[in-house]
Amino acid sequence: MPLATRHSPLVTFYSLALHTSTPELGLAIAHFNETCRHQVWDLGRDTSMLLHAYLVDFLLPQTWQDLAFIAVAKGPGGFTGTRIGVVTARTLAQQLDIPLFGISTLAAVAWETAKTLENPIAIAVQMPAQRGEVFAAIYRSDRRQNQLIEILPDAVMSLEAWENLLKKQDEVYHLITAEGSLGRYVTSILEIAQANWNHGLRPHWSEVLPFYGQHPVPEAI
């Protein structure tokens, strides 16, 4: 029997997700819409030193050549953690010549929250930032298309400005605060990327930039 190549139908393609925007390292791998395995480690400041070793061990028994695409939490979140995750994901996607999906940390929280709601209403997500500000975004779940629609892009603003913005919303929304161990949302990062893949998106690795609070910062890559 001939050996399978990367383009052979005998090959089983997988997808990989990384979440390093908060002190926890979250990794997830799945065979597209099928079985997903994931794990979270509270590495804190050691993430930069241990990420590669944990990633290599976690990938087994799969290999890098099994991957069809990679997804990464692009922030908002901690500067160092977010940068490490995005740089690592960009490097891997470039070397493997595969698509890279940069997924918002807030979008991942909204995606998971949408699963618990009976009706697909708007989901407002806030996360504490520095100097008394908040990271904030508003999404809506489209269950028919299995997509998350962005109503208000990720932004950083004062708590007062955020509360005033919410008061002006014309539709019912569900408000949730993203805090604590967010590494667990790595599975949502992977699921959002998979949904985008199923809709035909194939983003190039160079398109993914970290979001630190105001604007992507290309110089940090």
- Quick: pLDDT tens for 48-73: 889 999 999 999 999 999 999 999 99
Q: Mean pLDDT, to the nearest integer, of 177-185?
A: 89
- Whole-model pTM: value is 0.88
Domains along the sequence of the chain with CATH: 14-104+181-220 (3.30.420.40), 106-177 (3.30.420.200)
Query: Which secondary-structure segment (H or E) carries 133?
Result: strand 133-142
User: Which pLDDT does position 1 carry in this prediction?
Assistant: 29
Cβ burial, residue 87 (10 Å; 0-12/13-18/19+): middle
Q: Are strands 67-73 and 14-19 parallel, antiparallel or unpaired?
A: parallel
